Amino acid sequence: MAAKKSKGWRSGKREVRSRMVQMTRHLVVTEGKETEPRYFEGVRAALCAANERKVAVIVKGTGKHTLDLLDFAVEHCRYAPETFDHVWLVYDKDDFPASDFDAMERKCTELSDGSRTFHALWSNPCFELWPLLHFRYTTAPMSAAECQRALAQAMSKDLGIEYRKNLDGTFGAVDDKRGEALQRAGRLDTHHRALGNIKPSAQNPATKVGEIFDVIGPYLVG
């Protein structure tokens, strides 16, 4: 009986070890072709050598918007040689129709089948809100241009960096404040829900970009 118990324990240990080293593959598909891809390439580069064997991140900047972005991601998954466990769609409200913007979360849920999960990483009004939250909290509605100016002012004041749309190194410059940004994004979500603003198009300012770090954050250097 003792020998049988020992064999089962050893077998279980091997199964746990196998699960621990299984790689997960992530496809990040962004609306923008410069700002967002450069940020997420910084995320990918922050994976240490050991974790690159556990997490693979592929970044695609498309120039496509809302539902066209989702179509691109679905087609890429269909024909790509690798299989993706998570697909992260990064897109802005900007001036696009509220109906399309709001539909993305629902469609991502419908496409998620247990083997692959689609995530709607939206920002209202724009992606720059996510790095801005690394510096300060605000509930004031703003346009994309106003948000970009606020980020440029914050980076200039706090870091001495001149922000521009295609800036390299944004992730590395702000990431030491990621915990604060995640907390502020959560506060914004609570703020809007308290006001009854349930639809993404009604939540200005707000962003879901930080949700990717719930999954890959533990694998990043630092």
**Predicted TM-score (pTM) of this structure:** 0.88
| Residue whose structure tokens are 């992530």 | 26
Classify residue 171: in a domain, yes or no: yes
Classify residue 169: in a domain, yes or no: yes
Supply the pLDDT for residue 21. Answer: 55
Q: Of 33, 131, 43, 48, nearest to 91 (Cα)?
A: 33
Measured CA to CA, the distance from residue 31 to residue 59 in angstroms comes to 11
Q: In sequence order, what DSSP letters do the residues of 78-112 get, joined into one string?
A: HH-SSPPSEEEEEEE-TTS-HHHHHHHHHHHHHH-
Classify residue 3: in a domain, yes or no: no
Classify residue 148: in a domain, yes or no: yes
Classify residue 9: in a domain, yes or no: no
Classify residue 205: in a domain, yes or no: yes
DSSP E strand stretches across the chain:
24-30, 55-61, 86-92, 117-124, 206-207
**What is residue 167's three-state secondary structure?**
coil
pLDDT in tens, the chain (222 residues): 444 444 443 344 444 444 455 789 999 999 999 999 999 999 999 987 768 789 999 999 999 988 999 999 999 999 999 999 999 999 999 888 999 999 999 999 999 998 999 999 999 999 999 999 999 999 999 999 999 999 999 999 999 999 988 889 999 999 999 999 999 999 999 999 999 999 999 999 999 999 999 999 999 976
Could you tell me if 182 and 94 are in contact, meaning their C-beta atoms sit under 8 angstroms apart? no
154: tokens are 């914050």
Distances from the Cα of 215 to the Cαs of 89, 93, 199, in angstroms? Answer: 14, 24, 24
Could you tell me if 100 and 182 are in contact, meaning their C-beta atoms sit under 8 angstroms apart? no
Q: Convert 63-83 to b/e letters by CB count within 10 Å (16 or more is b).
A: ebbbbebbebbeebbeeeeee
**What is residue 134's three-state secondary structure?**
coil
For 199, the domain range is 14-219
CATH number for 203: 3.40.50
Measured CA to CA, the distance from residue 101 to residue 97 in angstroms comes to 6
Supply the pLDDT for residue 221. Answer: 75
Measured CA to CA, the distance from residue 102 to residue 206 in angstroms comes to 13
Classify residue 5: in a domain, yes or no: no
85: tokens are 């466990």
Question: What backbone torsions phi and psi does residue 110 show, to the nearest 5 degrees?
Answer: -65, -35
Residue type, 58: I
- Structurally, the chain folds into a number of domains equal to 1
Classify residue 139: in a domain, yes or no: yes
